[in-house]
A and B are shown apart, each in its own frame.
Chain A
Amino acid sequence: MPITPMEVYKLLPKTNCKRCGEQTCMSFAFKVINREKTIEDCKPLFEEEKYRSQKEKLIKLLEPLNKATETGLIVDESKCVGCANCIVVCPVHAAEDPFGAGSGFGPTIENPILRMENGVVKVVNMEMCRRYGKNRTLCVACRENCPSDAISFLEG
C-alpha cells in the first residue's frame, strides 16, 4: 500500500512552526515521502512528550520507506518471470539507452534503473527514475505493463 502525504500529515504536530525549514506541515509531509527530508527534521515531534505516541506511529508508518530508501519501487520477485516489459517500457531508459533497453535489448548503460539479474528484475539505480527527486512526475509505465503486478510503488 502506498504511503500518502496525508497519512503522514495526520500524525504531525500540524502547527506550521517552520522549524523543519518548510512553510507548512503538509509541505513537510510531502518532503518526507519524497525523502528530501527525514522525520527527524521535525524538531517538536522528537522534543515534546505530548507528541510521543504520534512520533511512534509515524516511525512505524514510514518503516517501509526506510527499508526501501535505495529504491522506493518494490519488485515482488516471486511474481516476476523476467519478461522485461518494465525495462523496455521505461521512458527514462528509452531516452538514456535508446539503442539498448529502448530497442528491446538488455540495458547497455552502466547503471540503468532496472535490469534483469538471474531471471528477475532488480532495481539498480532509482535516482534516474522520474518518480523521484525535485521534478518528479507520476510515471507508472513499469507497473502498468507488468501482467503479474510484481511492481509496486511505495507512495501513491
Chain B
Amino acid sequence: MAKRTPGEKTENITTKAKELPKVAAGIAGLDDVLYGGFPAGRTTLISGGPGTGKTVCGMEFLYRSAVNGEPGIFVTFEERAEAVRRNTLTLGWDLASLEKRGKLFLFGAHVDPQAAISGDFNVKGLLAIMEGKAKSMGARRIVIDAVDVLMRIFNDPMRERNELYALNDWLNDHEMTAVLTVKTSAGGDIMPRYEFLDYMADCVIQLDHRVVEQVSTRRMRVIKYRGSSYMHKEHPFVITDNGVNIIPIMTVGLQHKALGAKVSAGHPRLDAMLDGGYRRASCVLLSGTPGTGKTTLANVFVVAACERGEKVLYINFEESEEAIVSGMLSPGIDLRPALRDGKLRLMAAAPEVMGAEEHLFQALRAIEAFQPDHVVVDAMSSCRRMGTEQAAYEYLIRLTNACKEKGLTMILTNQTAGFQNEHEITGMEISSIIDTVVFLRFIDIGGEINRMLMIMKSRGQKSSNQYREFVITDKGIDVLDVYVGGGGVLTGAARQEQEASEALEARRKRVEIELREHEIKQKRAALEAEIARRRAELETAEAELKALQLEEGVVQESRDIRGKIRGEDANSLRLKTGGQKRKGRGAGRKEGTK
C-alpha cells in the first residue's frame, strides 16, 4: 500500500518546494510528517479504530483554519453538534464563537435509524447542504467525520461504493480540501468494504491506539500521499490540553550542533580529568551501580551551572522534588537557591504514569517553555518502566536529539546492575549518541569500600583514563589523587610511560584480586552450603532416633497398663518384664517386636 509512485522523490526535506500545493493541517508535527500539510483541493483519509483521535484531528484542522480566518465545515454522523462543541471546550476551543462569526459550521448530520426505506435513494441531500453552506460561507475546507456511519443506511457494498464516489467527485469538483474519517476494525485494518477509500483518497493517514505493557501509546502513520513525499515510519502522538501533538521521528543526528565550549562539571579536579569539563551540546552519561553517587555528581554540576546563571531542567524519574532537595542537603548540595531564582526546574514524574511519547512531549514542552542551557535525566534506566524497552529507547534518542539540535548539554544518569555488567554502562544501545561516559563504582580493597570514578569515554577532548577515588562528604564531593591500590601517589611527568604501564599492571592486579575474592566467596558459600547439608543430615538422623525412642516409651507404657489390668495373677510376668527392662532398651525392643 505504501508503494512509491514512480515520480515520487526520495525522502528529503529539500524536495518539498516542487511538490503540489498543500494546506497546513495546523496540527503540531503533522505538517512536518506530511512535508507541508494536506493536499490542497483533494481528499485526505484518516482511518483508525474507536478512540484513536480521528475526530479531534479533523476538528483541529478546521479549528486552526477558522482561527486564521479560513472558514470550514465539519460534518459528523456520529455526534450531535452540541456534543462536539462541549467536548472541544476541554481543549480550550471555543467553536461557538467561530460559528457565530461564520468561520465554522458544525453539522451534526443525524441519520434517522427508524426511517423506512422504499426504493432507491442517494446522498444528494447531503451534497446540497454542503454546497449551499460552502457557497454561503466561502468555505474551501471540509471534514466529514465517521463517513462509515452514513454508509450504513445503504446496507449494500455496491451502493455504498457508488455513494462514496459521488461524494468524492463532489469534493473534487468543488476543489475542497477535505478530510474524511473512517473507523477501522479493532485490528487496525480498514474494513474490507471501505478498502477502496484508500485508493480514492490522495493522502491516507492511519491512527492507532494500543496498550503495551499497561501503557497506552498513540501512533500515526502515513500510508500514502499521491504526488508528494512524506516521512515514513510510525510517529507517536499525544492528545493534550491543547490538541493533537505529533512528534515526528526525524533522522538521527541530522541537525546536531557541533560540540561546544567546555563547561565545568562542578568540581575543579573533575574538570582537570576532563581536560576542562564537559562540553556544551554534548551528552554525558553518569553510570554506576546503586549508591555510587550518580545523582550527587549530576547535582554538583547543576548547582555550579545555576550559580553561573545558567538554567537547568532536571527530569527526575526516581524521587519527588522534596525528596531530591532534602536528599542532596546531606552531601551539602543546596538546590533551593537555584529553584528560588528560577534557574533550576525540577520535573518529577513516575515513568509508568504515562506513555513514552507523553513523557517526551512533556519534556520537549518544558524545554520550549523554560529554555534551559542543560537538561538532566535521572535516571535513564528508569525509562524502561514507561513501557517497552523500545519506547524507552525512542524517548531517550529523541530527547537527546532534541537537546543536541538546540545545543543543550545533556546529563543522563544510568544505574547498572553490578560489577559483572560494566559493559552495559551505556545500556539500550544508545552509546552512539553519548559523548562522555563517567563511570562510578565501589571497590572493596584492604577491608574498605571506596567509591571510584573513571572517565571511560570522552569525545572530542583529552581525558584521564585512570580510576580516582571519589568521596562524598557533607560539603560536597571530592576527587582524590590517582589510586594505586596499595596507598601512595604517583607524581611527576618524567616517568610517564613507566607509570602508564604500572597503572595498567595495577589495574590488572585489581581485577585479579577481585576475581580471587569472588572465587573465595563462592568457595566459602559452597563450603557453607555443604556444612549446612551435613548438619541437616545429622539433625534428620537425630530426629529419627528421637521418634523411635518416643515410640518405645509408648509401647512400654501400654505394656505396664496391660499388666495392671491383668492384676495379681500376672505378678510373675510383670517381674519378668521389669527384669528385661533393666537389661536395656535394645532387648526390650526385641521383645516388643516379637
Binding between chains A and B: no
